[in-house]
Amino acid sequence: MAIDMSREAVSQRLNAMGELWQLSVHLMQAKPEKSISHRPIRSRALDIQDSIRQILSCDWDPIGVSDASMAADEYDAYISPVYRILVGTRSEDDLISCLRRIEREEMGIPSSEPEGLRIVAEKLLSLNVKLN
């Protein structure tokens, strides 16, 4: 398996990691407000991240590392762009395009067929990503 190490691909991965870092910092600084279910928003945000992580690791897993316990965070850099779609357009096609772009441009592997990613997109869209 070849990984694209071009300047552009590395920069894109670093940008994605930076976005995830900013999201994490924002979550850490969030005031512990109570939501309707009386759970802190920060706790809810971490649950959402974990739900997205599980789907990316178990259902998407384009490089086949879901069985490796040391690779549990392998797809964390992609949680942020997926989350933006889930709270934004909520478009199945946007999710599929995002996952295909990640495979092709950031991982340097051939992208999956759109129909194969439809189930992953449907699972992601079934998540409740509201913080309250």
Q: Where are the domains of the chain?
A: 37-125
pLDDT greater than 80 at residue 27: no
What pTM value is reported for the model?
Answer: 0.70
> What is the spatial distance between Cα 61 and Cα 66, in angstroms, rounded to a whole number?
6
* DSSP helix/strand/coil, 2: coil
pLDDT value at 43 more than 60: yes
pLDDT tens digits, 73-112: 999 999 999 999 999 999 999 999 999 999 999 999 999 9
Please report, rounded to a whole number, the percentage of residues in the chain having pLDDT higher than 70: 92
